[in-house]
Amino acid sequence: MNTKHLTPSAGRPKAIIIGGGVIGCAAAFQLSEAGFDCTVLDKGRLCSEATTAAAGMLGAQVETHHPGPFYELCRISQGMYRRWTDALEHTGGVSTEYIAEGILRAALTEEDEQELRSRLAWIQDARWCTPDELRELEPALSPKVRGGLHFPADHQVHPAALARALKAALVKQGCTIREETPVFRLLKDTRSGRITGVQTAEGPLYADTVVLAAGAWSPALTEPLGLPLPMFPVKGQCISVKPQAPLTQSTVFTKGCYIVPKADGSCLVGATQVEAGFDKRATAAVIADLHARASALLPALADAEFLSTWAGLRPGTRDGLPFMGTWETAPGLIFATGHYRNGILLAPAAGRIVRQLALGEKPLLDLAPFDPARHLNQPAP
Ligand code: FAD
Ligand 1 centre from 339 Cα, in Å?
8
Task: Please report the pLDDT score of residue 9 as a whole number.
Answer: 54
Residue type, 329: T
Question: How many other C-beta atoms lie within 10 A of the C-beta of residue 117?
Answer: 14
Percent share of the chain, pLDDT over 70? 97
Task: Summarize pLDDT for 51-99 with one digit per residue, the tens.
Answer: 999 999 999 999 998 999 999 999 999 999 999 999 999 999 999 999 9
Q: Which atom of ligand 1 is nearest to the CA of 236?
A: 34
Atom in ligand 1 nearest the alpha carbon of residue 339: 45
**pLDDT computed for residue 379 by the predictor:** 63
Q: Whose CA is nearest to atom 32 of ligand 1?
A: 54
Q: For residue 2, what pLDDT band results from cuts at 50, 70 and 90?
A: very low
Residue 64 confidence (pLDDT)? 92
Q: Check the CA dihedral 262-150-126-370 and report its sign.
A: negative
Per-residue pLDDT of 264-310, as tens digits, reads 999 999 999 999 999 999 999 999 999 999 999 999 999 999 999 99
Identify any residues that bridge with 128 across adjacent strands, giving them in sequence order: 149
pLDDT in tens, 96-141: 999 999 999 999 999 999 999 999 999 999 999 999 999 999 999 9
Q: Of all protein residues, whose CA lies closest to atom 34 belonging to ligand 1? A: 236
Query: Ligand 1, closest atom to CA 183?
Result: 19
Reduced to 3 states (helix: H, G, I; strand: E, B; else coil), residue 93 is coil
Ligand 1 atom 41, closest CA: 341
Reported ipTM exceeds the 0.85 cut: yes
User: Which atom of ligand 1 is closest in space to residue 41's alpha carbon?
Assistant: 20
Q: What is the mean pLDDT of the chain?
A: 95
Ligand 1 neighbour 321 (Cβ under 6 A): no
341 ligand 1 Cβ < 6 A = yes
pLDDT at 1: 33
Nearest-10 crossing angle of helices 159-172, 69-92: 60
Q: Which residue has the CA at smallest separation from atom 38 of ligand 1?
A: 54
Q: How far is the CA of 352 from the centre of ligand 1 (A)?
A: 18
Q: Is 356 exposed, middle or buried (0-12, 13-18, 19+ CB in 10 A)?
A: middle
Can you tell me which atom of ligand 1 is nearest the CA of 46? 9
Q: Which of 46, 49, 62 to mutate to test the pocket of ligand 1 (most atoms within 8 A of CB)?
A: 49
The pLDDT-based confidence of 378 (bands split at 50, 70, 90) is: confident
User: pLDDT-based confidence at 5, cuts 50/70/90?
Assistant: very low
- DSSP assignment of 31-83 equals HHHTT-EEEEE-SSSTTTTHHHHS--B--TTTT-SS-SHHHHHHHHHHHHHHH
Give tens-digit pLDDT for 241-271: 999 999 999 999 999 999 999 999 999 999 9
Are the C-beta atoms of residues 201 and 182 closer than 8 Å to each other?
A: yes
**Residue 133 parent element (H or E):** helix 131-137
Band of residue 6 on the pLDDT scale cut at 50, 70, 90:
very low
Q: For residue 93, report the distance from its CA to the centre of ligand 1, in Å.
A: 23
Please state the atom number of ligand 1 nearest to the C-alpha of residue 258: 28
